[in-house]
Amino acid sequence: MRKNPPKFEVILLLIIILIAGCTSTRIENFMPQDTKEKDIGIGPFGPRLRNLAQQKGFLVGTGIIANFWKYETLYTETIKKEFNIITPENQMKWQQIHPSRYKYNWLQSDRQVEFAEDNNMKFHGHTLVWHNQNPSWLKPSFDKSTMIEILREHIQAVVGRYECRIALWDVVNEALDNDSLRETIWLNTIGPEYIDLSFQFAHEADASAMLIYNDYDISTLNHKSNKLYDLIQDMLHRGIPIHGVGFQMHITNSGIDYQSFERNMKRFADLGLQIYVTELDVRMTDNSKDNLNKQAYVYQNILKLCLKQPNCRAVQMWGFTDRYSWIPNFFPGYGWALPFDEHYRPKPAYYTIQNIIMGDEMP
């Protein structure tokens, strides 16, 4: 009969675990892993994106909708088989997760994190500080010291709950308005130091997590990305724990300046930052064959340049099927922005992503 280990051995083991910490969630520690489902490797449309990406130690992902487990099975099955990182579109924003000052709603975020763990995926937390989707109780009438304490309590409660389970966090989201700091409740009550504080609080809650700044219109060289570069460079010089930058890329099938995109990634990488394409979609005015091919070309170039840059660790679409895309509601007259159509059929963009990861390109 096996005996229980002596008490001192149990104590020693606990000490070792505490000293070692939990670095396994960090993106730089991501390594290709075998999956539980044999059909993840090859699907009806060829090699799965997930399998191809994992072979290169790369992350390809999607934003996920609320209560996704209540939708058709094909939604969850596609996520499982095609992606190795997921991001909640809305469920971790203040309005949803912190509805009253002394109450949190963990139901959806818990289930989403568990889904990622059950399916051997990385989880990208979104977002800890933003000017939108805040609860009504969060008012600008609070004084500075109270707002700092609210900020601290929120970040440490949310990040702390998922310590060692969430690989990276969008700590501060969209703090810039072109080339200056955006007027927000945080800036107006705390001042510019709210950005530093947010990263410091997050790092205190989980030293293993990758902490990034996330924004739109910063993927190419322009006034806004210049301001962000100067801001992050200064933060790094002062020892603020910021590890990466997230490029939201809600763009049209006209594309972007790809040379500028490449140069911009390089300068952020030269600061020692990791780079993530966090919210990619490519909207169109119709789904004609010509537009679909133009869209595929945009996906091709962004993915190709990201894979070329060693510090670019992930490309994540903001959703994956047109059935649940946010685009038609926010950009009237546009749609068809994602790699799968509303019937979960792959579009040319899907095959382009597949080919680029394999090392091929569109003809």
Residue 341 · residue 325 · CB < 8 Å = no
The catalytically annotated residue of 28, 82, 163, 174 is 174
Residue 339 · residue 349 · CB < 8 Å = yes
Cα–Cα distance, 25 to 206 (Å, whole number): 11
The catalytically annotated residue of 37, 77, 89, 279 is 279
Residue 307 · residue 262 · CB < 8 Å = no
Query: Is there a catalytic annotation at residue 174?
Result: yes
Query: Is there a catalytic annotation at residue 279?
Result: yes
**What type of residue is 107?**
L
Residues marked active site are found at 174, 279
